[in-house]
Amino acid sequence: MGSRRRFLIQSFLGAIATGFGFKYGFGSVTYSDPNYPQKSEVTSPVIISTWSHGLAANQAAWNVVSSGGSALDAVERGVNVSEADPEVSSVGYGGLPDASGNVTLDACIMGPDGNAGAVAFLKHIMHPVSVARKVMENTPHLMLAGDGALKFALDQGFKKVNLLTPEARKAFKAWKRSGARYAPMANWENHDTIGLLAIDQKGDLAGACTTSGMAFKHPGRVGDSPIIGAGLFVDNKIGGATATGEGEVVMKTLGSFLIVELMRNGMHPQEACEAAIYRLTETTHVHKNMQIGYIAVNKNGEHGAFSLRPGFQYAVFENGQNELLDTAFLMDWE
């Protein structure tokens, strides 16, 4: 990229950061080429997803697209892996419960045709993203919540399961003993919401996002993950974005929609993720436990990620290789 452009971007970001008095680290930020978009088409599939458990999810998604399957099938199949994994304490089975000890799930899915489905505050179902897909395909609605979502899932043939694992129950009891005060813990053991974006062999894009939400949240709380435009957004002409972290902030700034719109206006996915993180600091009090991470991919298969704080990683499967990348961040933990 031209040095003048790099200078302008860095001055702009630096000015914002200095203005807010941030201790910021640009780490390994890579900026876009000024001649974006550079490639005219994607020649092979690309899968990206949040956190280290994204590696296993990417593999499942890759298996779908590499054998000619659709991006929509790939994103569902991919995040199903995290949903069923008891070790992943922020997604599906094994997720940490709310303040009354119930595991409640939020999820959404969005396809290349602009269609989307979502579920919120869903209990007892191992694969909320698959219910979200049924909402998209089998109802005139976009989102179902709570008991209605559960009834719909059971009607569609999903089985009722106990989502609270012994480990999650233990963590809940320890939280109760410690005074039972809610505090957002977005980086808890580095196991967080999975958002996954896929481009298939035809160059079509889809995305999915699924979570058990913030640990020990107020019963009934719904986060950003099932909200189209907040936790996930896909525009098959432009690209897709997905979020992890404190959902209240992502919802207030419609982060994923914002990133896709910024890409529409010519930003590289990396720049767009950075701009969305800066944007939220303009209107939000950034408390000491706050973490937000975004990942994005454009129609050309270029991708990027950025987080508010250190520690966020994203998994990228491209050119037959699946790897975990550290992201640059705006400010250190206080």
Which residues are catalytic, by number? 193
In order of 17, 92, 310, the CA distances from 334 in angstroms are 15, 31, 11
To the nearest 10°, report the CA torsion of 236, 30, 79, 52.
Answer: 180
DSSP, res 120 = E
Q: Which stretch binds ligand SD4 (CB under 6 A): 4-12, 22-30, 199-207, 223-231?
A: 223-231
What stretch of H or E contains 305? strand 303-307
Member of 88, 186, 228, 297 binding ligand SD4 (CB under 6 A) = 186
How would DSSP label each residue in 123-143? ES-S-HHHHHHHHHHHSS-SE
Member of 128, 203, 207, 223 binding ligand SD4 (CB under 6 A) = 223
In the bound state with ligand SD4, the residue whose beta carbon lies nearer, of 13 and 243, is 243
By CB under 6 A, the residues from 228 to 287 that bind ligand SD4 are 244-247
In the bound state with ligand SD4, the residue whose beta carbon lies nearer, of 64 and 99, is 99
Could you give the CA distance from residue 174 to residue 105 in angstroms, rounded to a whole number? Answer: 21
Please, are residues 256 and 243 in contact by the beta-carbon 8 Å criterion? yes
Minimum gap (Å) between residue 194 Cβ and ligand SD4: 9
How would DSSP label each residue in 154-204? HHTTPPP-----HHHHHHHHHHHHTT------TTGGG---EEEEEE-TT--
Question: Does residue 224 touch ligand SD4 according to CB under 6 A?
Answer: yes
In the bound state with ligand SD4, the residue whose beta carbon lies nearer, of 42 and 295, is 295
Minimum gap (Å) between residue 190 Cβ and ligand SD4: 10
In the bound state with ligand SD4, the residue whose beta carbon lies nearer, of 211 and 300, is 211
Minimum gap (Å) between residue 217 Cβ and ligand SD4: 7
Using H for helix, E for strand and C for coil, what is the string for 201-251?
Answer: CCCCEEEEEEECCCCCCCCCCCCCCCCECCCEEEECCCEEEEEEECHHHHH
By CB under 6 A, the residues from 129 to 148 that bind ligand SD4 are none
Q: Please give the span between the terminal C-alpha atoms of the chain, in angstroms, as a whole number.
A: 33
Could you give the CA distance from residue 305 to residue 88 in angstroms, rounded to a whole number? Answer: 21
Q: Residues binding ligand SD4: what is the number (CB under 6 A)? A: 14
Please, are residues 98 and 217 in contact by the beta-carbon 8 Å criterion? yes
Minimum gap (Å) between residue 19 Cβ and ligand SD4: 27
Please, are residues 291 and 311 in contact by the beta-carbon 8 Å criterion? yes
Question: Does residue 214 touch ligand SD4 according to CB under 6 A?
Answer: yes
Minimum gap (Å) between residue 220 Cβ and ligand SD4: 13
Question: Does residue 92 touch ligand SD4 according to CB under 6 A?
Answer: no
Member of 49, 130, 193, 256 binding ligand SD4 (CB under 6 A) = 193
Minimum gap (Å) between residue 122 Cβ and ligand SD4: 13
Could you give the CA distance from residue 326 to residue 310 in angstroms, rounded to a whole number? Answer: 9
Question: Does residue 153 touch ligand SD4 according to CB under 6 A?
Answer: no
Member of 69, 207, 213, 255 binding ligand SD4 (CB under 6 A) = 213
Name residue 42's amino acid.
Answer: V
Member of 211, 242, 270, 307 binding ligand SD4 (CB under 6 A) = 211
Member of 32, 82, 89, 90 binding ligand SD4 (CB under 6 A) = 90
Question: Does residue 226 touch ligand SD4 according to CB under 6 A?
Answer: no
Chain residues binding ligand SD4 by CB under 6 A are: 90, 186, 192-193, 211, 213-214, 223-225, 244-247
